[in-house]
Amino acid sequence: MTTIIKPALIARCAAMLCLSLLLSACGSDPAPTPTTAPAPTTAPPPTATTAPAPTTAPPPTTAPPPTTPPEPTAMPEPTQEAASDGPPAFQMPPPTMTMLADGVYHYFGFFTSSLVVVANDQVLTTDPSNPMRAQSLKDEIAKLTDAPVTTIALTHEHYDHVGGTGVFPDAKVVCQWNCTAAFALTALGDVPEVDETFDDFMEIAVGDKRVQLHYLGPGDGDATTIIYMPEEQIVVTSDMYEPRALTHKNWVDDKNFVGTRRILNTINGWNLKHAINAHSPGTDLVDLRENVEYYNDLYDAVRAAVDEAIAQAGGASFGAYGLFDTLPGTLQLDKYKDWDNYDTSFPRHIQRMLLGIYHGD
Ligand SMILES: [Zn+2]
């Protein structure tokens, strides 16, 4: 199989949602064909014999520096034509399909990632996003195999990831149980018909390959699903982190910062060769490890301030109330000042982490 790597293009969820709104015009009409993928009642460790415990993960400070200059973290400027009578025209970069292991690919198109797992007679993929992107994903998969997409696993419930499932009429749609309640509230349409849900863990066989779905608690959204292929040592996360960029302030309200930190620390302890994230074409583990370090540093700094404030109040939790007004304006983590969105969004990260530590949300 060919490996195509295009120049790096980074986008944020903000851009994706805008694009989804622009590009999603038709509703889904899935006609799923259920297949069996029994879900264990308990979640085994990602790899029972080889995955080290999260506590044995290399400390973030040992993460090697990137060997290449940081990828651009700003939203690529879309091609804009002077349009006095309409919105600017977007020119999408062509999609890429990069082989990560035998039969396992990373599709990156419309600024969003999908995992593609190919077997003789079936294909699993993730997050079609919207009908236009889903058709592009389908077209690129057709270059790899004649087999139909039989399973779509959703990484979480957010609208910019879950549309377009109707483009794959042979696929069953799988998501973590929490997505069903969220889909009942979704206002923008193109909500997938969910064929199978799981609570904490599900393993899907795609030929001789194992694709595991792990629910490790809320991260970005409530149905946050971590996809892991233990033999291939590939993990897929969605909207959890970006290379050398803070999640933009407009998109942090549905991100559980304490949960995101915990999830990233957990998966960083797994055996990994590639880490696919939602909105960048790279799969380098350094991106994951730098973000583990960021979330740990943010947690430690905010937690220290909370502990000190409560101690000064004689142990009363209300001693931390004032921090909601003061800490976002005073705390700095100079190490991350060159990350994209730091200037605009770091105070909101402080607020969200503070609330997470204080309220668990
Ligand atoms: Zn999201």
pLDDT in tens, 312-330: 999 999 999 999 999 999 9
Q: Is the pLDDT of residue 204 over 90?
A: yes
Residue 332, domain member (yes or no)? no
Model confidence at 332, pLDDT cuts 50, 70, 90, reads: very high
pLDDT at 65 (0 to 100): 41
The reply to whether 216 falls in a domain is yes
24 domain residue, yes or no: no
The rounded Å distance from CA 84 to ligand 1 centre is 32
Are 248 and 242 spatial neighbours (Cβ–Cβ below 8 Å)?
no
Is residue 173 in a domain?
Answer: yes
Q: How far is the CA of 146 from the centre of ligand 1 (A)?
A: 31
| pLDDT value at residue 148 | 98
User: What's the CA-to-centroid distance between 220 and ligand 1, angstroms?
Assistant: 5
On whether the CB atoms of residues 165 and 197 are closer than 8 A, the answer is no
Q: How high is the pLDDT of residue 84?
A: 54
**Residue 189 pLDDT class (50, 70, 90 cuts):** confident
Tokens standing for residue 113: 């990632």
Task: Identify the CATH number of the domain in which residue 211 sits.
Answer: 3.60.15.10
Distance 231 CA to ligand 1 centre (A): 27
Question: pLDDT averaged over the chain?
Answer: 82
Is 131 a member of any domain?
A: yes
CA of 221 to the centre of ligand 1 (A): 6
Cα 9 to middle of ligand 1, angstroms: 18
Number of domains in the chain: 1
Domain span at 121? 89-239
Of the listed ranges 119-123, 204-208, 317-321, the least confidently predicted one is: 317-321
For the segment 283-305, the average pLDDT, to the nearest whole number, is: 98
Beta strands (DSSP E) in the chain are: 96-101, 104-109, 112-118, 123-126, 149-153, 172-176, 196-198, 201-206, 209-214, 226-229, 234-236, 274-276
Mean pLDDT of the region 127-142: 97
β-sheet bridge partners, residue 176: 198
Going by pLDDT thresholds of 50, 70 and 90, the confidence category of residue 18 is very low
Contact assessment for residue 223 and residue 178, using Cβ atoms and an 8 Å cutoff: yes
Q: Tell me, in angstroms, the distance from the centre of ligand 1 to residue 14's CA.
A: 10
Give per-residue pLDDT as tens, 336-353: 999 999 999 999 999 999
Q: How far apart are CA 266 and CA 41, in angstroms?
A: 20
Residues within 5 Å of ion ligand 1, judged at the Cβ atom: 158, 220, 239
- Least confident range from 37-41, 248-252, 271-275, 331-335: namely 37-41
Q: For residue 199, tell me if it sits in a domain.
A: yes
Q: pTM for this one?
A: 0.77
Count of Cβ atoms closer than 10 Å to residue 214 Cβ: 23
C-beta separation of 18 from 286 below 8 A: no
Residue 211 lies in a domain: yes
Q: Is residue 328 domain-resident?
A: no
Interval between CA 137 and ligand 1 midpoint (Å):
19
Q: What is the pLDDT of residue 188?
A: 79
What is the distance in A from the centroid of ligand 1 to the CA of 82? 31
Confidence band of 49 (pLDDT split at 50, 70, 90): very low
pLDDT confidence band for 92 (50 / 70 / 90): confident
Query: What mean pLDDT comes out for the span 235-258?
Result: 96
Distance 251 CA to ligand 1 centre (A): 8
Q: Is the pLDDT of residue 17 over 50?
A: no
The residues facing 212 across adjacent strands are 203, 228
Cα of 143 vs centre of ligand 1, distance in Å, is 29
Q: How far is the CA of 201 from the centre of ligand 1 (A)?
A: 20
C-alpha 19 to ligand 1 mean position (Å): 14
Longest dimension (CA), the chain: 68
Separation of 115 CA from ligand 1 center, angstroms?
A: 16
- Least confident window among 34-38, 102-106, 158-162: 34-38
